[in-house]
Structure 1
Amino acid sequence: MLHLRLITPAEKTDDVVRLIERTVGTTHLVVMPGVARNPAGDVVTCDVAREAGDELLTELQGLGLDRTGSIAVENIDLSLSKRADKAEAEAPGEGADAVLWEHLADATHEESTLSATYLAFITLATMIAACGVVLDNAVLIVGAMAVGPEFGPLAGISTSIVQRAPRLALRSLIALLVGFAAAMVVTVGFSLFMDALDLFSKDQLEADRPQTGFVYAPDAFSFIVAVLAGAAGTLSLTSAKSGALVGVAISVTTVPAAANAAVALSYGDTEQTWGSTEQLLLNLLGIILAGTVTLLLQKWAWRKRT
């Protein structure tokens, strides 16, 4: 279930309470008149079944509460209450299938913002992957995939398409393009530095690499895996099962492909550079396509069910 904490102007409190009372799937309604100071007003709290949460949040925004007061939402990990059980049973659909669009937009907004932390993670991931491709070490490749933060902007682009949010799309696209560009530039310098220390060499890059050669050899399976991973990642976001994102992160060849392209570029190997770039773009396209289609299907299925 979800716990809502609302600050409402006194003149809107009755409307808010009536809205909550007529929403199927709500319980534990509490009204505290005049206790809020900034902004001034009443505090209203309630619990709502996840499957009824999106509709209630939309109607609360329709009352202008997000502008004149406050709407805070928290996940309830444990609720020992027969009333809560009854509310969940009465709410249409299943909580695991419900999509909280405001929560999704907020999460993707945070994950798709170009920040120093985002740049640090994607750069470090690309440098780790560079070591993996040169050493032909699959463990390093998997580690780099897990560190890479690129799924956030990819999910942001898919969400922006479905929700028709151009600002989110632009923010996500900037984070994705600038992030990969910066990471690859730094990795080129890193590769040259490692070569000067005799830790990297062109012979290592161009040798037979059975563990990591796939990163510059895109094929049909590259796109298929990217599509499947994109769908799984999107489902993990909408159902709040964040653990599944780790599996998604180590399923797609985005960061390793960018790393291989950067190392190959530092040695002037155009064949591997273009092959890795093609692999990267193919994976990005597959994830965005799958994420968008998954969200559209979830939206359609939920509307039909409720």
Structure 2
Amino acid sequence: MRLVQVLIPEGNRAPVLDALDEEGIDYAVFDEVGRGDFEAMAQFPVPPGGVEPVLEDLVAAGIREDSYTIVVPTETVVSQRLSALAEKFPGLRISREELYARAQDLAPANSTFFAFLLLSTVIATTGLLLDSAATIIGAMVVAPLMGPAISASVGTILDEPKMARRGAVLQATGLVAAIATAAVMGLVLQQTILVPPGLDITTIPQVAERTSPNFLSLFLALGSGLAGSISIMRGSGSTLVGVAIAVALVPPAATAGLGIAFGPPGVVVAATVLVVVNLLAINVSALVLFYLSGFKPIDAGQFEGVRASVFSRVVVLAVAIAVLSIALGAVTWTTYQTQSFEQRVSGELQQRFDEADVEGVELLSVGVDYEPIDLILGNEARVNVLVGLPRNETAPPDLAQRWDDQLSAEFDREMVVRVGFVEEQLSEGDVAGSEPATGDGTTFGGGTLSESESGFGPDAPTAGLRPGRSEPRGDGESVAGRPSVDRTVWVPSLLCQ
């Protein structure tokens, strides 16, 4: 419920009160003695959905735009006379006057806006480098990006060009400032011991997430824009919705800045495309929702001009999103293709072992190194296979080439197959019949390794694998003091194909 207070200009008391009577609104009238151009003040309660139409009636009855009209939210109204009024003005949508005021409040002073934005960027950049999702979310609570996005759309709908222009400028300059802040922070951190020398930021999962954007990122931005618009129209949850809007903008901007500082140009391009697409999607979704909700300028004669302006801006934003979404579509398609290819190759090799196509060795892990850029450029796929070799067995000399020929023919794609062998040795263990294990407790009995051990480079067969360390004493007991028994342990071999 809202409590409305309006000053009635001299000579308009009767028509204003008649308008309230026609709407069935209970009111109180007080004589105005402070100013000579107003004769009274009327005060009345009205549901949120009734504020806009009632004020339109009062303007038609003689309430001037330069007079004072105050709309105050009420905590509680105790009366049985308001049920008919609530039925007459259903809905929770606020009036355009309230919408305008809230949009103004959401776009703070420039000094406040940039202070909070830069602090948010610093926290988000720290979260990216620490690979901490919690830190990144905490930074979003500080980010003030919801206000400019909403005020730009509200200014367009209500034909308030100054508000619309300020909202657009704050968004553009704010994101540029965020990228620059992250870049400077990254350059400074490289000169300290806070980050490892030669850090490859693409190996950080939180950074990699923002450098491989797909169409799901677009849904985040569209949903955030719609949620922000609804929260303003309904007057609830704007702080939490602001977090969602900031999530779509600040982390990608910080990622682009880190890309500038640490060098990978692909990071800069991908993150910049993501942040621009998200920015446009938030604005177009908010603009469309405000328009469809029926908001319009106070001056009815401006409505046609506003409708044309909204239509043209939506078209421009939609075209820009469509063009930039080509990159999102390409990433989505190539990611799906490469992941599908990796699964098929792994499944094919596993099937060959299950069917005893390869005898004398045990499949431990399969890793496929095939990135989206390899698919686009037609580069060869790199397949890394780790197998266990029993004692006194000789590694098949042609295994890598045989698999290369078979997989290349099966998938019609050039491949390079690298096979590493892990030899079986006999050590003194503590439990008879236990599963073969590495010295660090990793069990190979199931025929698999952890994901971190699936791919390997020139030194790969030794990566992540250590021989058993129990050395039998002369008295027949192991170092741990337990009776020694034979146990098979896989240890790395330098045999590679």
Question: Where on the TM-score scale, by shorter chain, does this alignment land: which range?
Answer: 0.7 to 0.9
Q: Which residue of 1 aligns with 2:19?
A: 19
2:205 to 202, 210, 213: 210
1:70 counterpart = 2:68: yes
Q: Distance in 2 between matches of 1:197 and 1:20?
A: 70
**2-side partners of 1:202 and 1:286: how far apart?**
38
Question: Which whole-Å deviations, capped at 9, do the CAs of 1:171-208 have from their partners, x for residues lacking one?
Answer: 11111112222233233323333333322457445242
Match of 2:124 in 1: 129
Distance (whole Å) between structure 2 residues aligned to residue 244 and residue 172 of structure 1: 17
Equivalent pair of 1:32/1:42 in contact (CA under 8 Å)? yes
Q: Deviations over 1:274-294 (max 9, x none)?
A: 111111111111111111221
Give the Cα separation in 2 of the matches to 1:105 and 1:169: 11
> Map of 1:257-276 to 2, 5 A cutoff?
257-276=252-271
Partner of 1:166: 161
Please give the alpha-carbon distance, in whole angstroms, between the structure 2 residues aligned to 1:50 and 1:184: 41
Q: Work out whether 1:298 is the aligned partner of 2:293.
A: yes
Equivalent position of 2:56 in the other structure: 58
Mapped to 2, the partners of 1:39 and 1:262 lie a distance apart of: 58
Alpha-carbon contact 2:100-2:154 (below 8 Å) kept: yes
Which piece of structure 1 moves more, 40-49 or 139-148?
A: 40-49
Structure 2 residue aligned with 1:10: 10
Amino acid in structure 2 at the alignment position of 1:80 = V
Contact 2:224/2:244 (<8 A) preserved:
no
Shift of 1:128: 0.8
Scaled by the length of structure 2, the TM-score of the pair is 0.55
Corresponding residue of 1:303:
none
Segments of 5+ residues of structure 2 without an aligned counterpart are 296-497
| Inter-partner Cα distance in structure 1 for 2:146 and 2:182 | 20
CA deviations 1:225-276 (Å, max 9, x no partner) are 21112111111110111x2541452364201111111122122332111111
**Aligned residues of 1:3 and 1:74 also touching (Cα < 8 A):** yes
Give the number of equivalent residue pairs: 293
CA distance in 2, matches of 1:147, 1:202: 31
Query: Match for 2:3: what amino acid?
Result: H
Distance, in Å, in 2 between the alignment partners of 1:270 and 1:127 is 21
Provide the TM-score with structure 1 as the length reference.
0.86
Residues 28-47 of structure 1 mapped to structure 2, 5 A cutoff: 29-37=27-35, 41-47=39-45
Q: Which residue of 2 aligns with 1:145?
A: 140
Q: 1:72 to 1:204 in 2, by over 3 A?
A: farther
Q: Secondary structure at the match of 1:82?
A: coil
Question: Is 2:180 aligned against 1:180?
Answer: no
What is the RMSD computed on CA atoms of the aligned residues? 2.3
Q: Work out whether 1:233 is the aligned partner of 2:232.
A: no
What residue in structure 2 maps to residue 115 of structure 1?
110
Q: 1:250 to 1:140 in 2, by over 3 A?
A: farther
Give identity over the alignment, percent.
Answer: 23
Query: What amino acid sits opposite 1:102 in the alignment?
Result: E
**Counterpart code for 2:80:** K
Displacement, 1:50? 1.2
Q: Which amino acid letter does the alignment assign opposite residue 77 of structure 1? A: E
**Is the helix fraction higher in 1 or 2?**
1
Q: What residue number does 2:274 align with?
A: 279
**Equivalent of 2:244, from 250, 254, 268?**
250
Contact 1:156 1:168 in 2 (8 A): yes
Query: Which has the higher relative contact order, 1 or 2, with Cα contacts under 8 A spaced 6 or more apart?
Result: 1
Deviation at residue 142 of structure 1 after TM alignment = 0.8
Deviation per CA, 1:9-52: give whole Å up to 9, x if none.
2322222222222225x33x111112444975422111111111
